[in-house]
Amino acid sequence: MANYRSPGVYVEEISTLPPSIAEVESAVPAFIGYTQIATNLATDDLAGVPTPINSMADYIQYFGGPDVESAANLTIAVDEQQSGGKTTGYTAKLTFANSGMSKHILYHAVKLYFANGGTRCYIVSVGKYSGNVSETDLEAGLTTLGTTEGPTILLCPEAISSNTPNTFNQAMLLQAATLGDRFAIIDTATTTVPKSTSSVAADTSATITPLPAGQPESSYGAVYYPFLQTSYNHNFNFDALTITTYTVNGAVPSPASPNAGVALGSLKTTVSLLYNAILAQYQGYFITLPPSAAIAGVYCNVDATRGVWKAPANVSLNAVNKAVVSVTRGEQDLLNINDQSGKSVNAILNSPNFGTLVMGARTLDGNDNEWKYVNVRRFFITVEQSIKNSTASFVFEPNTSATWVKVQAMISNYLFLKWRDGALAGAKSDQAYFVNVGLGSTMTSLDILEGRMIIEIGMAVARPAEFVVLRFEQMLQTS
């Protein structure tokens, strides 16, 4: 009470409502990889610095564009059709050397992320385009993220090109579990094309076998398969390319055609029919990317439209032509529930009617009844961090019933809203959650003497209807 020293009327406002909990953002991915530049105010001042961006325009401003492919990775064969000495058309065949293509795919991955509903994210530039992907560089970027608050999802599409991607994947899982505030999206190292009878199992086993099973970190990550054919083209300097071989009606002309060996840009106006024939073939060749960036976009989109408690599955992907291999029902059975390793892999399927669908929502620890689902683990992460941040203001408050009531009311109000939104299961709120705090309930006299205020929170998180079973029976005629 204030110390009044002179006569008069004084107004006092008494706080009767508990403080509220501000929910943390549930989907803020952090991308690790190589960029063209890393500049804001001075050259390379963003190198190795986790930098938040909100759009692809922000990415281009701070980190530049895609890596330019070497012309040596593309050969162009042209056959000119002639009849009566006159040109009737052109046939172009382009051959891409996939093994020589740039391994620096972060630009395209971030573009795919935004195309699938992504919003704010972090970029950690670990170096300039130089040819190889170094695990040392990637781990340095991951270590930097370990001291950064804000990111809630970890991914590194370029890890598939490092010498030991599984070591990096283990490091991501360990960081996520240790900090408890983030979730890792993991790509398989390869997708064998064309598929064989054993290639799906071999591709996924090579990635999940070294990862921990039944450990606390197992539920802090999810693996997705296969790679995706996007609607993006490789970044060649198209107008500077030249025709490798030039034939007329299938034979090498003599003398050689003046079009052979000429930069394509010079043909744009002089022989536009030839230029357009080559361009049409070029635009029909698409980049293949690991799925993690698209999945991160799905997480963001589902969180924003439905909530973090909704499983990020049965969702079609944008800017994706198809999954590069078609996973069959039998193969998906073994990926989703692996009775040997206990580790689940989420399949992405080509559906004739619905496009390219994400049809898996399990963490790596797919046989754990508590943490098998991605949405359950991510919902707990969100709730834990939100309550943790909001209860920080009660540190050094009196450890008495007045404080306990405020804390209990604050958390209960927050969980009631989650139950009302459909995140928690239960016909009544007391069936969906509980919050206990107090002497004789969660604390002893010794706890109070030693300054501990212990709060116990239980939640019945809504789990996805992963298997929808329809049972039909034929009724006998009754009349």
pLDDT for position 1: 60
474 Cβ neighbours under 8 A, 6+ residues apart: none
Q: How confident is the model at residue 35 (pLDDT cuts 50, 70, 90)?
A: very high
Lowest-confidence region among 38-42, 266-270, 431-435, 457-461? 266-270
Over residues 80-96, the mean pLDDT reads 91
pLDDT for position 353: 86
Residue 478 has pLDDT above 80, yes or no: no
Domains of the chain: 29-66+102-232+287-376 (3.40.50.11780), 71-99+235-283 (no CATH), 395-479 (no CATH)
pLDDT for position 382: 96
Q: Which residue has the tokens 């299938």?
A: 250
212 Cβ neighbours under 8 A, 6+ residues apart: 170, 173, 218
What count of other Cβ atoms lies within 10 Å of the Cβ of residue 233?
16
Over residues 234-246, the mean pLDDT reads 93
pLDDT in tens, 359-414: 999 999 998 889 999 999 999 999 999 999 999 999 999 999 999 999 999 999 99
Residue 184 has pLDDT above 70, yes or no: yes
Tell me how far the alpha carbon of residue 473 is from its chain's centroid.
43
59 backbone dihedrals φ, ψ, rounded to 5°: -60, -50
Amino acid at 261: G
Q: Which residue has the tokens 């492919």?
A: 69
